[in-house]
Amino acid sequence: MPEVKDYVTPNKPTWCPGCGNFGMWEALKRALSQLGLETNEYSIVWGIGCHGNGADFTRTAGFHALHGRSLPVATALRLSRPDLKVIVEAGDGDGYGLGLGHFVHSVRRNLDMTYLAHDNQIYGLTTGQASPTSDHLMRSVSTPKGVLEEPVNPIGLALAEGATFVARGFAGDIAHLTDLYVQAIQHPGFAVVDVYQPCVTWNKINSFKWFRDRVYKLEESGWDSGDRTKAFDLSMTAFHELTCKPDECRVPIGVYYREEAVPTYEDGVTAYGEPLWKHAEKPRDISDLIEDFR
């Protein structure tokens, strides 16, 4: 059984001391270990950002993709290697900005993979610009008078597009996050885990303390994770305002919604004939097909 130490490379993390990425990294390693996954049984695809630097420290035959483009790479990987557990690590700028179209279409496609969003509500790597999930009116180096737009609601978007597993975690509660990751990786379909991951250097508002004072666990509140409409309503009320006091805005973490008996995209592909990876094993003669395009 692999241990947590088996999932690291000799490279030392370059994240700022205290960064929320450490909690997410630890939870991922613990989840992989709990699931007994050997390093050749999963593959991770990262986007670009501080989160993506995990590619240097995490042991996997994975891929560090372009900004916002982890999902197309992961889709090809999943379809060509259905024997692997495929995990995507994205940033909020990366995944809900440039990569938002890929997110929406991957959700509705329901490929069997796990999407872990490092949601620090800021652009970390490029030094503190507002991101798609920055709070309304948040001041940043790119919005000195405050963000004018309402933030993207990743949980609501995923639910609206028919997501079959939607959860939110907090990097400051590693045990809870590990449990969410285990459930997400085991889920047969596209599993979204949006994680509040404090950026201690550039986001001075949404700090560990900010979240610790406000988070509560859905599973401890009698939440029914089988009701999509209620989950959507919760995602709309779970927005927080910069100025809200801890007792005024409670932030739910846990599984918002899950639905298991839904065919995956892979099931559909297989129904058309042999899975794609078989083609690599036994290349087909496609000269007739090419002729059709002449």
Ligand X SMILES: Cc1ncc(C[n+]2csc(CCOP(=O)(O)OP(=O)(O)O)c2C)c(N)n1
Q: CA end-to-end span of the chain, whole Å?
A: 54
Q: Which is nearer to ligand SF4, 129 or 201 (CB)?
A: 201
Find the binder of ligand X among 79, 125, 242, 262 (CB under 6 A).
125
Q: What's the rounded Cα separation, in Å, for the pair 202 and 247? A: 25
Work out which of 51, 187, 228, 258 binds ligand X, going by CB under 6 A.
51
Count of residues binding ligand SF4 (CB under 6 A)?
11
Q: Which is nearer to ligand X, 57 or 232 (CB)?
A: 57
The least distance separating ligand SF4 from the CB of residue 194, rounded to whole angstroms, comes to 15
Please tell me whether residue 93 binds ligand X under the rule CB under 6 A. yes
Q: What is the DSSP letter of 140?
A: B
Q: Counting Cβ atoms within 10 Å, is residue 145 exposed (0-12), middle (13-18) or buried (19+)?
A: exposed
Contact with ligand X (CB under 6 A) among 29, 78, 109, 118: 118
Q: What is the DSSP letter of 220?
A: G
- Say whether residue 73 binds ligand X (CB under 6 A): no
Number of residues that bind ligand X (CB under 6 A): 18
Q: Pick from ligand X, ligand SF4, none: which does 200 bind, CB < 5 to 8 A by kind?
A: ligand SF4
From ligand X, ligand SF4, none, interface partner of 201 (C-beta below 5 to 8 A by class): ligand SF4
Residue 205 engages ligand SF4 in binding (rule: CB under 6 A): no
Dihedral sign computed on CA atoms, order 165, 58, 207, 99:
negative
The binding track of 52-71 with respect to ligand X, each residue x by CB under 6 A or -, is ---------------x----
Which tokens go with 75? 């889709």
Q: How far is the CB of 65 from ligand SF4 (least distance, A)?
A: 18
Q: Which of ligand X, ligand SF4, none does residue 94 bind to, with CB < 5 to 8 Å depending on kind?
A: ligand X
* Contact between 47 and 91 (Cβ < 8 Å): yes
**What type of residue sits at position 73?**
V
249 binds, among ligand X, ligand SF4, none (CB under 5 to 8 A by kind): none
Nearest distance in Å: CB 21, ligand SF4 = 5
Pick from 8, 16, 66, 174 the residue near ligand SF4 by CB under 6 A.
Answer: 16
Q: Which residues contact 88 (CB under 8 A, 6 or more apart)?
A: 44, 45, 46, 47, 70, 71, 74, 113, 114, 115, 116
| Smaller CB separation from ligand X, 81 or 136 | 136
Q: How many whole angstroms separate alpha carbon 258 and alpha carbon 227?
A: 8
Beta strands in the chain (DSSP E): 42-46, 63-64, 85-91, 114-119, 165-170, 191-196, 215-217, 251-258
Which residue do the tokens 């910069």 mark?
Answer: 242
**Residue ranges that bind ligand SF4, judged by CB under 6 A:** 15-16, 19, 21, 50, 120, 124, 199-202
